[in-house]
């Protein structure tokens, strides 16, 4: 019985480490945001996202992007266009998802 509990503790600890190690650092988030801005600049001018922009959308950590969406920035975002762009790049946006100060309908 002791062996079983030890195994549970070890597995739980390993899962915790895996989750903790997958969380991006502040420096990683800053780099991801810079890469996303550079890859997706054309979208700001009304164009469709480029293949490199879509790739960046698919691989970026959502926490890195959502952490900078303030109420002031959220007021400038057309939520429906935002969702279409993200989903058009192959990333799912769940209903009622909260991203910074933006709530997805």
What are the residue boundaries of the structural domains of the chain, listed by start?
A: 26-104
Residue 13 pLDDT? 42
Query: Which residues of the chain, if any, have pLDDT below 70?
Result: 1-22
Residue 46 pLDDT? 84
Tokens coding 38: 């550079």
Residue 22 pLDDT? 65
Say how far residue 46 (Cα) sits from the centre of its chain: 22
Cα 21 from Cα 101, distance rounded (Å): 26
Residue 51 pLDDT? 96
24, 15, 88, 90: which is closest to 62 by C-alpha? 24
Cα 94 from Cα 98, distance rounded (Å): 9
Cα 36 from Cα 60, distance rounded (Å): 8
């Amino acid at each position: 019985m002791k062996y079983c509990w030890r195994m549970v503790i070890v597995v739980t600890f390993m899962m915790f480490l895996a989750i903790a190690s997958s969380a991006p650092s502040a420096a990683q988030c800053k780099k991801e945001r810079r890469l996303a801005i550079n890859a997706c600049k054309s979208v700001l001018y009304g164009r469709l996202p480029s293949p490199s922009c879509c790739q960046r959308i698919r691989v970026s950590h959502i926490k890195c992007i959502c952490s900078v969406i303030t109420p002031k920035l959220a007021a400038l975002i057309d939520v429906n266009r935002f969702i279409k762009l993200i989903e058009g790049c192959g990333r799912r946006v769940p209903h009622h998802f909260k991203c910074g100060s933006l709530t997805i309908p």
